[in-house]
Amino acid sequence: METYTYANSRKLFERAMKVIPAGVYGHLGPVEGSMVPPSAFPFFSSHAEGAHLWDVDGNRFIDYMCAYGPNILGYRDEDIDHAAREQAKLSDCVTLPSATMVEFAEQLVDTVDSADWAFFAKNGGDVTSFALMIARAATGRTKAVFVNKGYHGVAAWTKLPGNPGIAEADISNNLYVDWNNYQQLEELVSRHPGQIACFMASPYFQGNFVDNELPEAEYWSKVRALCTKHGIVLVIDDVRCGFRLDLAGSDHYYGFKADLICFCKALANGYNVSALCGIDALKSAASSVFYTGSYWFSAVPFAAGIATLKKLKEIDAPKRLYEIGKKLTEGLVDVARTHSFNLNISGELPMWYMRITDDESQIIHQEWIAACVQRGVFFTNHHNHFINAALTDEDILYTLNVADDAFKAVRKLHPQFV
């Protein structure tokens, strides 16, 4: 099978390094360790459609990162783009918000089980930060509890001691517990009576470079009861998997009700908008916090979001994404087994995490991922992957053929693993 080369990507990266810090920043950057080896990965795209992206060298990839989540219906989905174009003919970023903001909020309140109101911003980190501020405003408390190695954005309060640019005061009110450890959380609440404003967590553990973990039976029901008893605001960061598991919210999927729930990635199929939804009891506190941004009232993303939620309902997206994910991951596991490798699948199937378990150093896993990318299937070695509704049976078959050829290439490098 032919392997890709990236001459144009490399040239563009050299230009970028002269004018952009790190050339490509964040976890997409080749200097961040998320692309190993960097020579196996493209750095810049030229266009995208459906389940595919093309790089600046003309190579086509089946994209299982989906822009790290925003692509849920397929790139350039005609229904969503049409709604955005029609709104763009009228207005986008204007002094006053458009009626689409109200319509979008109404649709979210009708869709999300725990939502009595909705507030809009741009990035997932915008709404996780707002949720923390609301919890503090509502309770008059300062401390917040997070899950170890959880991710809620890049604001200063989300960082760890020793991270560049972070002062001790930025994180002095943070407390941490291990995922699924209810007893640890209960003990922490007892040690800080009347001091904890909120507990914030994703609906299941979605760490990087580690297997994802689902909540244990009754974990969330016990957490919900504990937070209610002690007046702690329960915040669910549904930025990654919101609308992929349940259109009513991932808290609904796991059988409990959040006080605040954060959405972003799949909310508008790539158009730039995020949302915080909450219960009536926190509406006054949300109103009391001054929080806004230059583009937060932009109407085009609202129109795209309205169309996205409508289409997600029409196609029963959670069911469809689960079925595609099941077919794909079972096929990948079978292909791995034919080459005497063990591929572990964890998390929820619409946004699964995978890891070759035969080598604790993860070198083999990184080599296999790199070999898949060089053959036209865009995986990453550190992050959960995403299913989108535009994936076809032909895409899955092509993916499995690529995976097979990539395992053959890795097997030649490591004949000792039998």
Residue 302 domain-assigned? yes
CATH of the domain at 182: 3.40.640.10
Asked if 65 and 91 sit in the same domain, the reply is no
- Which among 280, 314, 348 is the end of a domain? 314
How many other C-beta atoms are found inside a 10 Å radius of the C-beta of residue 213? 15
pTM value is: 0.96
Q: State residue 417's pLDDT score.
A: 62
Residues 115 and 192 reside in one and the same domain: yes
Q: Are residues 39 and 155 in the same domain?
A: no
Domain match, 85 and 151 both: yes
Q: Could you tell me the two tokens for 129?
A: 């930060």
Per-residue pLDDT of the chain (418 residues; tens, 9 = 90+): 899 999 999 999 999 999 999 899 887 777 666 788 999 999 999 999 999 999 999 999 999 999 999 999 999 999 999 999 999 999 999 999 999 999 999 999 999 999 999 999 999 999 999 999 999 999 999 999 999 999 999 999 999 989 999 999 999 999 999 999 999 999 999 999 999 999 999 999 998 889 999 999 999 999 999 999 999 999 999 999 999 999 999 999 999 999 999 999 999 999 999 999 999 999 999 999 999 999 999 999 999 999 999 999 999 999 999 999 999 999 999 999 999 999 999 999 999 999 999 988 889 999 999 999 999 999 999 999 999 999 999 999 999 999 999 999 999 888 776 5
Cα 353 from Cα 202, distance rounded (Å) = 15
pLDDT at 35: 84
Asked whether residue 418 is domain-assigned, the answer is no
Show the domain range for 254.
78-314
The residue among 249, 284, 314 that closes a domain is 314
> Does residue 2 form part of some domain?
no
Q: Mark whether 280 and 191 lie in a shared domain.
A: yes
Instruction: Give domain status of residue 1, yes or no.
Output: no
Residue 169 and residue 271 in one domain: yes
The residue among 258, 284, 314 that closes a domain is 314
Q: What's the structural domain count of the chain? A: 2
| Cα 401 to Cα 356: distance, rounded to the nearest angstrom | 18
67 and 102 fall within a common domain: no
| Whether 39 and 135 share a structural domain | no
User: 7: which residues sit within 8 A by CB, 6+ positions away?
Assistant: 57
Query: Which single residue is written with the structure tokens 């169309």?
Result: 307
CA distances from 366 to 40, 114, 404 (A): 10, 40, 15
Residue at 384 is within a domain:
yes
Q: How far is CA 99 from the centre of its chain?
A: 28
207 and 66, same domain (yes or no): no
Residues 297, 384 within the same domain: no
Backbone angles phi, psi at 176, to 5 degrees: -135, 145
238 and 136, same structural domain?
A: yes
Same-domain check for residues 158 and 242: yes
Q: Is residue 202 part of a domain?
A: yes
**All residues at 6 or more sequence positions from 175 whose CB lies less than 8 Å from its CB, including other chains:** 143, 144, 145, 146, 188, 192, 196
| CATH number (domain holding residue 383) | 3.90.1150.10
Name, in order, each residue with C-beta under 8 angstroms of 327's C-beta and a sequence gap of 6 or more. Answer: 393, 396
Residues 6+ apart with CB under 8 A from 291: 121, 130, 133
